[in-house]
Amino acid sequence: MPNDQTPAPSSVLTGPLVVALAYDRLCTFEFGIAVEVFGLSRPEMGSGWYRFAVAGVDDGLMRATGGLTFTVDGGLDLLQQADLIIAPGWRGMDEPVPDALCAALRAAHQRGARVISFCSGVFVLAASGLLDGRQATTHWRYTDTLHQRFPAIHVTPDVLYVDTGMVMTSAGTAAGLDLCLHIIRHDFGTGAANSVARRLVLPAHRDGGQAQFIQQAVPRPHESSRLGPLLDHLRRTLGTAHTVETLARRVSMSRRTFLRRFEAATGTTPARWLLTERLNRARTLLETTPASIEEIAVVAGFGSAATLRHHFRQVLGVTPGAYRAAFGTPDQPSARA
């Protein structure tokens, strides 16, 4: 029987076939994310869990970052069978994407396969034309280049991932994990996503975007003693009304200084940060409790069910009831959704 670090034998599984692309000068970490999430043995998930295979883009010996060489399960013909295809980074923004790969991706997508990218893998999807007219994201270092080279793509630079249905893209490398957990939640439910997240020692879902990482991810040392406890306080009191003035007084700053330093530390405004945290709390309650929408709205700090529904639709594109139906535990009473 395989151990936790052994790729799952696809022959005993019946779930969706995930095919990760591999190429010469492979981005090792991004590829490792695909293997870690979809390619390891997870007997607790049953026989319906994902099958996994690696498709080689190039002929002959292929190398990976770090001095590794590797073999693959097959060539681009594997894409004809895939349910989910992963482009785990690309070897360089200025490196051309082979026409054969672009054609294979378009054919697979037309057949009904989902296609996703991690980080710079977005350039593979862009070259294939699958992102034309769609929203997409990538690492913040590449967003300007992506926009300039592929103006038909609606580049969204400040999110962790974008899901447009059959085509999905993630931001910087680690955001690929967020996208993978999102896919698991869609395919197998919240319980499965939570189980995989626990094994990865990750939160089941992170809110917010990558703007917080662009300039400064951690408050300056002389501010952390004030802003850190403030953020903890806000998380404990999401159901309380907060204003910029009261928050600034709490950390002994002027309003102007507080707003400037809060955004430098978090990458967003206090209002937007609170909204994200409140949505996160509401999502957790919808997933794990039978509480009514009205009760959740109060606990999470929205005040009313109407306000909660408004922000859910605006930010997540669904109603709280639809979200609970998709991600809640099976024994939750649907009448209260």
Residues 283-300: tens digit of each pLDDT: 889 988 999 999 999 999
335 pLDDT above the threshold of 50: no
Q: For residue 136, what is the enclosing H or E element?
A: strand 135-136
CB within 8 A of 161, min separation 6: which ones? 137, 168, 169, 170, 171, 175, 178, 179, 182
Tens of pLDDT, residues 260-277: 888 877 778 899 889 988
Whether pLDDT at 216 is above 50: no
Q: What is the mean pLDDT of residues 210-221?
A: 40
Rounded to the nearest integer, the mean pLDDT of the chain is 86
pLDDT at 232: 86
pLDDT tens-digit profile of 137-195? 999 889 999 999 999 999 988 788 888 989 999 998 788 998 999 899 889 887 888 88
Catalytic residue check, 27: no
Q: What is the 3-state secondary structure (H, E, C) of 137-185?
A: CCCCCCHHHHHHHCCCCEECCCCCEEECCCEEEECCCCHHHHHHHHHHH
What is the per-residue pLDDT across 93-117, written as a single tens digit (0 to 9) for each? 899 999 999 999 999 999 999 999 9
Which two structure tokens, joined as six digits, stand for 244?
A: 């910029």
Task: Work out the burial of residue 138: count CB atoms within 10 Å of its CB; fewer than 13 is exposed, 13-18 middle, 19 or more buried.
Answer: buried
Q: Where on the phi/psi map is residue 218: left (φ > 0), alpha (ψ -120 to 50), or beta?
A: beta
Q: Is residue 32 predicted with pLDDT exceeding 80?
A: yes
